[in-house]
Every structure is written in structure tokens, then in C-alpha cells.
Amino acid sequence: MPNLIHASESSTLALHAALLLARAEGRLTTAAIARQLGASAAHLAKVMARLEKAGLVRSVRGPGGGYALARPARTITLLEIYTAVEGPLTAGRCLFRVPTCNGGGCPLGAFFRNVSRTVADRLARTRLADVRIHLR
């Protein structure tokens, strides 16, 4: 069964990487995070740069370097991580690439706007410290 909600690879990497950092003692390198997630280190490096620019992680260069959370996990929401990578959540677009409804708006628009608001609210209320991660 397909998922109704789909997250991009970048936002998925950002969320999982932040969770790994939340449970880590000390810093983790991009290579270590990528290995644990089975992800491209190059793609992850771009994602981590966005998280750093948003002030969610900090990096240390050189031996013993890597990434760590810039703030305590209890103060970082999943919505902050998502928007750092994807930008603000918007609910105004038609689900079809080319809008199929004409006239007074999409009959499904109100429904999907409500779903988007619910997802955004849940992401805003959920902090890294609230989520448990179990990786292989």
C-alpha cells in the first residue's frame, strides 16, 4: 500500500541524521552517519550544511571533528529540521501537476489543507528528544 505522505530523500536524511546526533555521545562524522543510514556521504554533506546554516547542528573540522546538535534535543522540533531542508510547508498547491478543477477551487482542497496543517502541527509539537530511534 503506498503512503499518502511522501518525504523527500533530503528531508528523510536530515531527520534521521538529527536523531542519530541526538542519541550520540560526542560528534559524528558525515561518513559515520552516511554509513549508518546507508546513504550517499556527498548528499548527506549537503543536507548537513543546510542544518548547520539553520543553526540546528554545528561542525568541528579536523581530527576528532564531525557534527553535533547545536542545541539540546529537547529544544529542536522535527518541523525545524524539515523546513531547514525543504523550506516552509505549504498546503495551497493542487495534487495534480496541472490543476484539473476549474471554477471555485478544488473540492479536495480544504481536506488536503487540513491534512497539511495536521502534519505541520504534529511536526512542530514533536521534539528530537521525543523520538526513539532503533537502527540495525
Neighbour count for residue 66 (Cβ, 10 Å): 21
The mean pLDDT of 9-31, rounded to a whole number, is 93
Q: What pLDDT, on a 0 to 100 scale, did the predictor assign at position 98?
A: 63
Distance set, CA 60 to CA 10, 57, 66 (Å): 22, 10, 5
State the pLDDT confidence band at 25, using cuts at 50, 70 and 90: confident
Which one is predicted more confidently, 34 or 113? 34
State the pLDDT confidence band at 79, using cuts at 50, 70 and 90: very high
State the pLDDT confidence band at 124, using cuts at 50, 70 and 90: very high
CA dihedral 54, 84, 131, 72 (to 10 degrees): 10
- Domain ranges for the chain: 9-130
Residue 79: CA count within 13 A, CB half-sphere: 14
Of 40-44, 87-91, 121-125, 126-130, the one with minimum mean pLDDT is 87-91
* CATH architecture of the domain formed by 9-130: Orthogonal Bundle (1.10)
Q: What pLDDT, on a 0 to 100 scale, did the predictor assign at position 101?
A: 66
Phi-psi region of 2 (alpha: psi -120 to 50; beta: other; left: phi over 0): beta
Residues 101, 94: contact at Cβ < 8 Å? yes
Identify which of 88, 84, 89 has the alpha carbon closest to the alpha carbon of residue 17: 84
Q: What pLDDT, on a 0 to 100 scale, did the predictor assign at position 90?
A: 72
State the pLDDT confidence band at 109, using cuts at 50, 70 and 90: confident
| 3-class SS of residue 28 | strand
Cell 493542487, residue located: 94
